[in-house]
Structure formats: C-alpha cells, structure tokens
Amino acid sequence: MTTLSQIAWDDTVLPFQLDHSDIRGRVARLDGLLERVLRQHDYPPVIEALVAEAALLTALIGQTIKLRWKLSLQIRGSGAIKIIATDYYGPTEAGAPARIRGWASYDAEGLTEAPPFDQIGEGYFAVLIDQGAGMTPYQGITPLAGGSLAACAATYFAQSEQLPTRFALSYGRSTLPGQPERWRAGGMMLQHMPKSAPFFASGGGSGEGGLLEGADILQGRESENWNRANLLLDTVEDIELIGPSVHPTDLLIRLFHEEGPRVFDAQPVEFGCSCSAERVRNSLGIYSQEEIMTMTTPDGTLTADCQFCGAHYEFDPRSLGYEATIAADGTPLAPDND
C-alpha cells in the first residue's frame, strides 16, 4: 500500500531555512522521476549509481533557479566514465513542476569493480545556467576532487560562489511492501547564506589540491553555527533521507529543532525532455546537402536518437540543411533566387 507520506513527498524538493544559524537548505525525494531517468537506458550498476547521484544533486541545486531557466550539471573525465550530464528545467509557470533528465557516456569494456567516482578519472565538474534567449549562459567549472559528485558540488560552491555548502545523499534500489524493486533517492543540502565580504584563510584552501572548503570561508560565530549544523546533519540515517516513512518536515525538526527551522512551499519535479524533431532540424541547419547525405542510412533516411529520453526521429534528407529542397511536410520549397 502506498503511504500518505510517499504520495505527498516523492518527487519533490522542500526548501527550508534555519533562522537561528543563517543557513538555508533543501530536502529532496526522488522516486518515479529517477526510475524514468534510468530506465531509458540499460546502464550497468556503476553508471546507474552516478546518474542517480547527479540527478539528486541537480534537483537540490536547481530548485533555486527562476521560471523557464535551465540548469545543467556536466561531469567529464578521462577514465572509463566519460560524461554524466543532467538538466533541470525551471517551471514554465508558478506552481508547475520542474523537469529533470539525465544521461551518461562510458566505455563498457573499461569499467571495473572500483568505486564509481574513481572510474571517472581526471576531469571537471561544471555548472551551467541558461537564462533564456538573449542572455549569455553562465558556466562555473571546478576540478573533480573529494571522492564523490556531492563533494565536487560542495567544492564548486566554495570556489565559484564563496558559499559553504554540504550535501547528504542516499540512493539505491529499494522494495516497498507489495511493490517491485525500483530506484529511490533522497538527500539534503545545507548552504550558508551569502556574505557581503567572505573571509578566506591565508595560504590557500584546506581541500584537495588547495581548493576552498566551507571552513575556509567562515569565521567566528558563523563558523560555529556552520559546524554545529554539519554535526547535526552527520546524524541523519539513509532511511530518513530516502523515506517514504519519514516525513521531511519531521526530519528537519528531528535534526534542527533548536536552529529554528522554517519550511517553504515544496517544488514538484518530474522527468522531462526538451528534444523535438524541430530541434534536430535546427541543429542540422549548418550542413550542406552533400554533408547531410553522408549521414543517411542505406534506406535513404536520416535518423536521430535522443540520448536523454530515447526518442527516435527519422527524416527525409532532402528536408534538412541549408540546401533543403522540400519542407518538413514533404512539399517542395521555392528556389532561392539571390
């Protein structure tokens, strides 16, 4: 039987604030969304774990972006795991769900029994924000460090935003009574509120390779508040993060009742992809008809598959590129008389 807590909180992100500590945060629970992201591909377990972690981070980080904005996480490495990419599409209108999708590229023969993060190798963790047409996208990049994608995300905020940030994540396959095994994930994000003049310890950061960490940015009472909140978060258990039996607001009270927790409206999230036949056509608009013909199949069509959702598209090559002779519906195009 599905519980009321599960109905209310699965596939949501709950923002909160600790009024006595100048700390804000989010609690996320992913169920059906994560299952949709992963079932699009037959990923081996090591890849599923990293995509699940990235999707959970995307839900937690993306909740702050504005309507119609897009936030992307990209993890690129030199190891057997080449790319992990996720997108968060802000709601199209107030009260609407946000959409998340994810995808990974990897060398199947190069995968080993080593921890998933170690198989990414050297590379970088990037956060990209697209504010829409006419705006220059933002991009922040930090090296892969710390042993997990969550640690990389915390390092990004310390380095690029000077915001002490901490993540506690849990994800994996679980079985609820009377239901088949499926993926679930849950997590919490803590972040110190922005300061007008951050403090930096001399001699570089205390993180791997001299990277900044949260402790390098705060001092005095703020540092004490941050350390206390982190110690409290250390007591959280996996089952409390994943649920569904533990209500997120009950979890916040259990952890931070002395910090003055205040919750805001939860943001629903769902699986969603932005691919379309029109987008594929637009992406091929830079090619000549000769180049288009080199991409066709033996039966004379050009096909494209979305890496995120698995959608399959087929086109008449004559309708593609800047030298197209027919429209998408097959009608002839008028000659270009220059």
- Would you state the pLDDT for residue 244? 75
CB 201 within 8 A of CB 269: no
Q: Would you call 17 exposed, middle or buried from its count of C-beta atoms within 10 A (0-12, 13-18, 19+)?
A: middle
Q: Could you read off the pLDDT of 274-289 as tens digits, one per residue?
A: 888 998 999 899 999 9
**Percent of the chain topping pLDDT 70:** 89
In the predicted model, is pLDDT for residue 128 greater than 60? yes
Sign of the torsion formed by the C-alpha atoms of 10, 171, 116 and 62: positive
Q: Which domains, and CATH codes, for the chain?
A: 4-271 (3.55.30.10), 275-338 (3.90.1280.10)
Q: Where is average pLDDT lowest: 166-170, 177-181, 258-262?
A: 177-181
In the predicted model, is pLDDT for residue 64 greater than 80? yes
In the predicted model, is pLDDT for residue 141 greater than 70? yes
- Would you state the pLDDT for residue 4? 40
- Would you state the pLDDT for residue 309? 85
Q: Could you read off the pLDDT of 210-224 as tens digits, one per residue?
A: 666 766 677 788 889
Phi/psi of residue 168, nearest 5 degrees: -125, 120
Q: Which amino acid is at 176?
A: L
**Percent of the chain topping pLDDT 90:** 62
Q: Could you read off the pLDDT of 236-287 as tens digits, one per residue?
A: 999 899 877 888 999 999 999 999 999 999 999 999 988 889 989 998 999 9
Instruction: Tell me which DSSP letter residue 109 carries.
Output: G
How many C-beta neighbours within 10 Å does residue 36 have? 20
Task: Give the C-alpha separation, 222 to 234, whole Å.
Answer: 18
Q: Look over the chain and give the mean of its residue pLDDT values, rounded to a whole number.
A: 88
